[in-house]
Structure 1
Amino acid sequence: MSEKTARLERLITEESGECCRADVEDRLDTLREYRTAVGADHAADRDALRTLGNDTRYEIVRLLAAADGELCVCEIDPVVDVSDSAVSHALSDLHDAGLVTRRKSGTWRYYEATDRAEALLAALDETRGDR
Structure 2
Amino acid sequence: MATTERLERLIADEVGECCGSDVEDRLTDLRALGERAAVEAADETADLDALSALGSDTRYRLVRVVAAADDDLCVCELEPLVDVSESAVSHALSTLTDAGLLSRRKEGKWRYYGTTARSEALLDALDATREVAE
TM above 0.5, one fold? yes
Of the three residues 80, 91, 94, the one matched with 1:92 is: 94
Fraction of identical pairs, as percent: 61
User: Is 2:19 the partner of 1:20?
Assistant: yes
Q: Deviations over 1:77-119 (max 9, x none)?
A: 1111111110000000000000000010111111011111111
Query: What SS does the corresponding residue of 1:19 show, helix, strand or coil?
Result: coil
User: Is 2:58 the partner of 1:56?
Assistant: yes
Query: What SS does the corresponding residue of 1:103 show, helix, strand or coil?
Result: strand
CA distance in 2, matches of 1:49, 1:126: 16
Q: Deviations over 1:12-47 (max 9, x none)?
A: 111111211111111111111111222252111111
Query: Structure 1 unaligned runs (5+)?
Result: none
CA distance in 1, matches of 2:70, 2:99: 19
Q: Tell me by how many angstroms 1:3 deviates.
A: 6.9
Moved over 6 A (4+): none
CA distance in 2, matches of 1:83, 1:6: 53
Letter aligned with residue 77 of structure 2: E
Aligned match of 2:8: 9
CA distance in 2, matches of 1:27, 1:18: 14
CA distance in 2, matches of 1:68, 1:26: 55
Letter aligned with residue 57 of structure 1: R
RMSD: 1.6
Q: Tell me by how many angstroms 1:130 deviates.
A: 3.6
CA distance in 1, matches of 2:35, 2:52: 23
Aligned match of 2:111: 109
CA distance in 2, matches of 1:74, 1:116: 24
Q: TM-score, normalised by structure 1?
A: 0.92
CA distance in 2, matches of 1:110, 1:18: 64
Select between 61-70 and 106-115 the one with higher mean Cα deviation: 61-70
CA distance in 2, matches of 1:113, 1:4: 46
Letter aligned with residue 6 of structure 1: E
Query: What SS does the corresponding residue of 2:3 show, helix, strand or coil?
Result: helix
CA distance in 2, matches of 1:62, 1:105: 23
Q: TM-score, normalised by structure 2?
A: 0.90
